A and B are shown apart, each in its own frame.
Chain A
Amino acid sequence: MEFIKRIGNSIEKHFDHNALCINNTFYTYRDFAIAVSKIRTAIIDRIADSEKIIGLVTNDDLETYASIIALWLEGKAYVPVNPSTPLERNIKIFELTETKYVIDSSETSIYNDYEVIVSTNLTDTIIDLIPKACLGDQLAYILFTSGTTGLPKGVPITFDNVGSLVNAIDAEPEFNLVASDRCLQMFELTFDFSVVTYLFPILSGACMYTIPKNAIKYFYIFKLIIEQKLTVLTMVPSIINYLRPYFSEINTPDVRYCSFGGGALHNDIAKEWSDCLPNCKIFNYYGPTEFTVYSGFYPYHKITNQKAHNGIIAIGTPHKDTTYLIVNEKNEEVSVDTTGELCLSGPQMTSGYWKNEKRNSQSFFTRSENGKEVKYYKTGDLCFKDQEGDFLYVGRADFQVKIRGYRVELAEIEFHAKTGADKKNNIVALDIYNNLGNAELGLVIESEKFDVEQLFDYMKKKMPNYMIPTHVRFVKEFPHSINGKIDRKELRKYFQHK
């Protein structure tokens, strides 16, 4: 694979540059190469060639990043699991992917039923960054997102998918990282946005700055921007929502690029943020996990480029080799300016959800174009295309919501809440907005008030932290709309007053 060869070359070329800054400790690309090579040797020695899918516990350390590259050099895929996510959910992910081996840098690994490679305790070896030959249709990673049935949904991404993402970003003249760049890497490695925040810095020999797990994220990011003079920021919009009250104190001329993704970017805050970064290009990226992180972007500019719909910045146009199509309920293309579901086609598209035929038949369809059958992925995002060919975001077609950039199916929260409740209560999960403009989760239970500690203990065993509701309300009888459905809009009102 061409891009893996390039990763090896870049690491070697930049041996004396910093690769990572983790909790104030710097590691050079030489340190990185040594860690990669040690882990690679352990993989060769201990994992059978036929085992292609390997678990990875995502700690915030050199070894975890090195493990990804070591696995890729050996033509294997990583399945990341976050150490702070309930063990039961992580085990479920390993079961679904039939993972037998886990690379873990934790002091004590809790994956007792698996063959664990402790990545911090390996013997020295010679540096070897030349990739083993492997086919492009082999997997590079599998990420899991919230599913509607209570089971997380796996999205497998191949080396060809990642290679196509690299080609598309390379083809974009507006965005070029260089070895002297200092880049923010604020994402959990279980979140697909992280792929662009580690891959592109490594390909250019730039340095990544991570966020320690126990830090107050927002202030730590600001500290890095100020003290380490970061030049490239990649963030979810919720970060600047929280920093907004302090914008008047922020003026950071070193930042060259600021990319947003993973949620709606609002026009008013983008303009204010842009004033804090006088020398910066702002990109509003769009793309689902199913399409290898990014599928396109809109180049925002506070004066010349601020196209928006209902205050939400445009998602612009698809990048190289990607096609956008807006369809109606029958999967037929609709005309310009008409809202429909956005569908994507191109080489970055996943081959389909992991072992989930039912879901695949709902989310993918083929269409005849110029005598060829072309496969499309249905994003669930409602959009329209304007006269100039830009795409604009309108809303969701279902009950999926974004919490701090993470995709959350409200149905999955409701499933676990109902299962965990003593009595068989009616329970509804809602996304509600706090006074800083960010979405939080609320849970409404149809019942007299009761102690929810046990229910929450249950939910915390089943779902990651970002899926646990932060507000609870009891309603004696749920309001219903005329057609008999629970009136979610009416329930939302219970969260307006404390």
Chain B
Amino acid sequence: MNKEEILLKVEEAFVVVLEHKNFKLTDDTTANDVDGWESITHMMIISEIEKVFNIKFKLMDLMNMNNVGDLIKTIQSEL
């Protein structure tokens, strides 16, 4: 799966959890840039992404994840 395909699926996971589409995800996007993306919804998004990609993140990776770019890199490493 290439990066664009991953990003598309990640965006879908965001929509499922946040119940809106008012955002554009890039490598530099952080929780401050997306309406409704905070501690609780972050956990739901992570759980949704694990389901969609059929992967399991490691706590150590999640702990140091700062933006969408980090998220995508971690997904790539798990696939």
Contacts and interface: CB of A to CB of B under 8 A. Distances in A.
Query: Do they bind each other?
Result: yes
Interface of A: 214-219, 222-223, 226, 242-243, 245-246, 249-250, 404, 434-436, 438, 440, 465, 470-472, 498
B32 A436 contact: no
10 contacts: A214-B32, A215-B39, A218-B39, A218-B43, A222-B63, A223-B63, A436-B43, A438-B40, A440-B40, A470-B19
B31 interface: yes
B37 to A, nearest CB: 10
Contacts of B69: none
Contacts of A226: 63
B58 A498 contact: no
B74 interface: no
Contacts of B42: 216, 218
B55 interface: no
Interface string B15-30: 0100100000000000
Contact of B47 (A214, A219, A436): A436
A470 B36 contact: yes
A483 B59 CA distance: 50
Contacts of B62: 219, 246
A250 B62 CA distance: 13
A144 B15 CA distance: 34
Nearest to B60: A249
Given A219-B62, A223-B63, A472-B19, A435 B39 contact: no
Given A216-B38, A217-B39, 5 more contacts: A214-B32, A218-B43, A222-B63, A250-B59, A470-B36
Given A404-B40, A436-B47, A219 B16 contact: no
Most chain A CB within 10 A, of B36, B38, B40, B65, is at B40
A156 to B, nearest CB: 30
A470 B41 contact: yes
B68 interface: no
A435 B47 contact: yes
Contacts of B36: 470
Most chain B CB within 10 A, of A215, A216, A465, A470, is at A216
B34 interface: no
Nearest to B58: A249
Contacts of A217: 39
B39 A216 contact: yes
Contacts of A471: 19
A134 to B, nearest CB: 38
A365 B38 CA distance: 42
A226 B59 CA distance: 11
B72 interface: no
B44 A219 contact: no
Interface in B33-79: 36, 38-44, 47, 50, 56, 58-60, 62-63, 65
A435 B48 CA distance: 10
B72 to A, nearest CB: 17
Nearest to B19: A471
A443 to B, nearest CB: 11
B40 to A, nearest CB: 7
Contacts of B32: 214
A498 B59 CA distance: 28
Contacts of A216: 31, 38-39, 42-43
Q: Which 4 A-B pairs have the closest CB atoms?
A: A217-B39, A246-B59, A249-B59, A242-B43
Contacts of A465: 38
Most chain B CB within 10 A, of A219, A226, A246, A434, is at A219
Contacts of A242: 40, 43
A472 B36 CA distance: 14
Contacts of B38: 216, 465
B6 to A, nearest CB: 20
A384 B38 CA distance: 38
Contacts of A404: 40
Nearest to A471: B19
